[in-house]
Structure 1
Amino acid sequence: KTSSKIITKDNVIIGNTVLYGATKGKLFAAGLAGDRFGVRNSGAETIIEGCGDNGCEYMTGGNVVILGSVGNNFAAGMTGGMAFVYDKEGTLPVRINLDTVIYQQQMTPYWENYLFLKIEEHYQVTQSSHAKNLIENWEKEKLLFWQVIPEEMIDKFENPVLVEEIKMA
């Protein structure tokens, strides 16, 4: 195994429109995605470490975990699925499109555990040092995640989402 000095969470490794219209499958990318990541995703599960503008646009299903910042107009037209965004810089509130979604930092135990297990799976597949750091410092780092949920789906998930303290811009 060779090592690299490249910091994966700071480098774009997959281009624009990746997962456009995906219906199933999994994608783990130890790095950033370009613009329009996950547009029209209707069933894929994925973890990346950041994305450009218009991420999760028109998403109708699947789950997306983003272990870093997102670009402008995030979740525009999102009507299904769910996204989790690690927001160390505190930029999601000004970058999210609130036309169809709500976002919250407080999660039910089910969704918090789901998120943790997905990050563990990402680490096992990619050996991402960023994912490893999140796992090792989970009690502190989990507080920096936002859960993004389409408004029309709030009462339709098999496992409820906590919406009492919704953060709205």
Structure 2
Amino acid sequence: MAELGFRTIDEMVGQSQKLKVREDIAHWKYKNLDLSPVLHIEEAREADGVYNQTEQNHNLEEVLDRKLIQAAIPALEKGEAVKAEFPIINTDRSAGTMLSNEISKVYKDQGLPQPMEVKFNGSAGQSFGAFLAKGVKFEVEGDANDYWGKGLSGGTLVLYPDAKSNIVPEDNIVVGNVCFYGATSGESYIRGLAGERFCVRNSGAKVVVEGVGDHGCEYMTGGVAVILGSTGRNFAAGMSGGVAYVWDKSGDFESKLNPELVDLDPIEAEDKALLQEMLTKHVEFTGSEVAKSFLDNFEASLATMVKVMPRDYKAVLQKRKAESEQSKEVEAV
């Protein structure tokens, strides 16, 4: 920087006259490459800056979370239960994140002592419920965008289409891509289909949805994903932990699976109990006809339910189980 005559990085911005184009590259790909439009220095008034000169205003004082925090005062100050309802639009991004920050300041990772339940009506923006704290339940009647439940941290998220809509939920996408990215705990119940990369890097959340796009459960390390419908291609790529259940009514799921790290295992007694619990909640929270149909014909439905299990994770669980049984035998002696 000093050799070029600059004291700071900011001083270097836009000074393309200091760059020299190499003329010694003979590769055919460079033959017609002209960098002059990229290196052109635009004339600017002396008062104009070539890098950002003003602080951005994100209007944080006007975001939806300010209303949520206000509604949560009885919970934050007195530990009381709270119920509220708000409209929501797609520019309301990261709803619940600032609220969860306030909750963590008071209750740390324990979450709220009494439930806070908030109903939203409309179209939720990106990152709805991101990092949502334990004790908070958000319910959306409408639809939602990408990054639903990102970093979910113990909260509960519910989504179902507007009652006035005539769509068939299990045939329509109601939430965008990359749901539950990096989620660590909590639950979610989605009546309808999700986009691509559902549960990517999920490490602890338990979720139900009625179909997903490509790359479902990619890099998942923990948690449970129940998919009551079809998936896209490359399912479970890089999946090293957690478990996924896919209702494979069409019988073609194996062709969409990335088998590098996972196996398809039989449904066991503990799986049945978990599925019954999660699907019962799904019906209760969303009114899902798909989950109701599954439960009404539970044993028959299980015949087409596929369990996706990472091999290394399964080996660890089996080892722990064997050690636990061995310990019990020693104690009995």
Aligned residue for 1:64? Answer: 225
CA–CA distance in 1 between the matches of 2:167 and 2:293?
A: 16
CA–CA distance in 2 between the matches of 1:120 and 1:3?
A: 24
Is 1:152 aligned to residue 316 of structure 2? no
Pick from 120, 123, 126: which aligns with 2:280?
Answer: 120
Structure 1 stretches of 5 or more lacking a match? 161-169
Is 1:93 aligned to residue 254 of structure 2? yes
Of structures 1 and 2, the one scoring higher in RCO (CA 8 A, sep 6+) is 1
Secondary structure, in 3 states, of the residue corresponding to 2:179? coil
What's the offset of the Cα at 1:144? 0.8
Aligned residues: 159
What's the offset of the Cα at 1:72? 0.2
Q: Verify the 8 A CA contact 2:267 2:302 in the aligned structure 1.
A: no
**Structure 1 residues 40, 2: CA separation in 2 closer, same or farther (over 3 Å shift)?**
closer
Structure 2 stretches of 5 or more lacking a match? 1-161, 322-333
- Could you tell me the TM-score, scaled by structure 2's length? 0.46
CA–CA distance in 1 between the matches of 2:233 and 2:183?
A: 22
CA–CA distance in 1 between the matches of 2:254 and 2:277?
A: 25
The worse-fitting range, judged by mean Cα deviation, of 19-28 and 57-66 is 19-28
Aligned residue for 2:241? Answer: 80
1:62-108 deviations in Å (ceiling 9; x for gaps): 1100000110000000000000000101121100000100013x221
What's the offset of the Cα at 1:2? 4.7
- Could you tell me the TM-score, scaled by structure 1's length? 0.88
Pick from 264, 277, 280: which aligns with 1:103?
Answer: 264
Instruction: Give the aligned residue type for 2:241.
Output: G
CA–CA distance in 1 between the matches of 2:176 and 2:163?
A: 24
1:2-25 deviations in Å (ceiling 9; x for gaps): 565321111101101111111111
Is 1:18 aligned to residue 179 of structure 2? yes
1:34-85 deviations in Å (ceiling 9; x for gaps): 0011100011110000000000000001110000011000000000000000
Is 1:7 aligned to residue 168 of structure 2? yes
**Structure 1 residues 156, 41: CA separation in 2 closer, same or farther (over 3 Å shift)?**
same
Aligned residue for 2:14? Answer: none
The worse-fitting range, judged by mean Cα deviation, of 14-23 and 71-80 is 14-23
Q: Identity, % of aligned pairs?
A: 42
**Structure 1 residues 136, 157: CA separation in 2 closer, same or farther (over 3 Å shift)?**
same
Instruction: Give the aligned residue type for 1:65.
Output: V
Instruction: Give the aligned residue type for 1:153.
Output: Y
Q: Verify the 8 A CA contact 2:202 2:223 in the aligned structure 1.
A: yes
Q: Give every structure 1 segment of 4 or more consecutive aligned residues whose post-TM-superposition deviation is greater than 4 Å.
A: 1-4
Q: Please tell me the root mean square deviation across aligned C-alpha atoms, in Å.
A: 1.8
